[in-house]
Amino acid sequence: DTEVTQTPKHLVMGMTNKKSLKCEQHMGHRAMYWYKQKAKKPPELMFVYSYEKLSINESVPSRFSPECPNSSLLNLHLHALQPEDSALYLCASSQDVSTDTQYFGPGTRLTVL
């Protein structure tokens, strides 16, 4: 099983809403990642978790709050987002953070109204 799953597939939210994106993998990977991808742009790294601890935060605004409840799950909590935060949010995992291949989930397409 080399699958990373993400829910929901699509999400529309208002600027005052609170929502969460979920990501799951059962490959025994110990590193998990959140990326943001705008249209016609490459994915941009947001957060890296290594062994369930946040190891990289790429200066992401605090309205995005990651959480890693266990080694298989990664959440991204959203609050008070702006329309410019509309994007495809991709989760990925890898065996560890050293140099391993990252496997991507299908993403959540987020629209902020």
Partner 1 sequence: RKEVEQDPGPFNVPEGATVAFNCTYSNSASQSFFWYRQDCRKEPKLLMSVYSSGNEDGRFTAQLNRASQYISLLIRDSKLSDSATYLCVVTLNAGKSTFGDGTTLTVKP
27 near partner 1, judged by CB under 8 A: no
Return the range that interacts with partner 1 (CB under 8 A); candidates 17-25, 64-72, 74-82, 102-110.
Answer: 102-110
Q: Tokens standing for 63?
A: 């309205």
Q: Which of 21, 66, 76, 102 binds partner 1 (CB under 8 A)?
A: 102
Q: Which amino acid is at 1?
A: D
Cβ 12 to partner 1 shortest distance, Å: 17
Q: By CB under 8 A, what part of segment 36-55 binds partner 1?
A: 41-45, 48, 50, 55
Indicate whether 104 belongs to the interface with partner 1 (CB under 8 A): yes
Q: What is the DSSP string of the chain?
A: ---EEEE-SEEEE-TT-EEEEEEEE-S--SEEEEEEE-TTS--EEEEEEETTEEEEE-S--TTEEEEEEETTEEEEEEES--GGG-EEEEEEEES-TTTPPPEE---EEEEE-
Q: Does 71 bind partner 1 (CB under 8 A)?
A: no
Using CB under 8 A as the binding rule, whether residue 89 contacts partner 1 is answered as no
Residue 107 sits in the site that holds partner 1 (CB under 8 A): yes
